[in-house]
């Protein structure tokens, strides 16, 4: 389903960042930090040719085989909430009984430390930089669209470009989430 930029409503997320959604809830354009992290990892460690520029409000990543670039913006990391570290996921889902049985005589202190301290923390698995992560800059695309609101042919070309780019990023994001949930299902099935 194609997203029409003029049908997008503006709201804010928990961090005060702009997010967009369609009234019929078919699309939500908000934080996509995990997606961007994997894109940057592909750019850094993969062998795909790309341009990557971190230059303030003009930061972007573009792979050679893609028609469009991903506009990037810095945000507070939503995995570690800006801390740079978070609890060790190896302990996720542990119960009090587990701590009692697996821990030594100090199990209560260990559990307390795990719940409220940071001794068991690991570096943020989203690979953020001290709590700051890159995200998709949806605002830049929507703003460019509305900056070219006049009737001229040039403006229409820019608007069409914004619309195609936004839809292209949104569908790669949806493909990414589908892929992630398939992988999670395979892990649960023990593949
Ligand atoms: Zn983080």
Residues 118-157 have pLDDT tens digits of 767 888 988 899 999 999 999 999 999 999 999 999 999 9
Q: Ligand 1 (ion): which residues have CB within 5 A?
A: 77, 79-80, 124, 126, 128
* Distance between Cα 177 and ligand 1 center (Å): 19
Q: What is the pLDDT of residues 13-63, one digit of tens each?
A: 988 899 999 988 889 999 999 999 999 999 998 888 999 999 888 999 999
Alpha carbon of residue 86 to chain centroid? 17
pTM of the model: 0.82
- The greatest distance separating any two alpha carbons of the chain, rounded to the nearest whole angstrom, comes to 76
For 64-105, the pLDDT digits (tens) are 999 999 999 999 999 999 999 887 777 667 777 877 787 788
CA 75 to centroid of ligand 1, rounded, Å: 10
- Tell me, in angstroms, the distance from the centre of ligand 1 to residue 1's CA: 32
In angstroms, what is the span from residue 127 Cα to ligand 1's centroid? Answer: 6
Sketch the domain layout of the chain as residue ranges: 5-75+131-184, 85-123
**73: CA distance to ligand 1 center in Å?**
15
| Token output for 171 | 């569908």
Residues 6+ apart with CB under 8 A from 59: 53, 71, 72, 73, 74, 134, 137
């Amino acid at each position: 389903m194609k997203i029409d930029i003029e049908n997008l409503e503006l709201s804010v997320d928990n961090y005060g960042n702009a997010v967009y959604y369609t009234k019929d809830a078919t699309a939500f354009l908000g934080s996509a930090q995990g997606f961007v992290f994997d894109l940057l990892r592909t750019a850094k460690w993969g062998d795909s040719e790309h341009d990557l520029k971190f230059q303030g409000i003009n930061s972007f990543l573009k792979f050679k085989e893609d028609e469009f670039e991903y506009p990037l913006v810095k945000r507070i990391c939503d995995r570690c909430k800006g801390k740079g570290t978070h609890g060790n996921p190896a302990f996720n889902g542990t119960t009090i009984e587990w701590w009692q049985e697996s821990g030594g005589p100090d199990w209560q202190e260990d559990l307390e430390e795990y719940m409220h301290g940071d001794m068991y923390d690991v570096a943020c698995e989203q690979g953020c930089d001290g709590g700051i992560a890159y995200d998709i800059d949806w605002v830049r695309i929507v703003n460019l669209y509305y900056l070219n609101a006049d009737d001229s042919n040039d403006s229409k070309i820019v608007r069409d470009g914004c619309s195609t780019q936004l839809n292209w990023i949104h569908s790669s994001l949806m493909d990414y989430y589908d892929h992630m949930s398939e992988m999670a299902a395979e892990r649960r099935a023990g593949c």
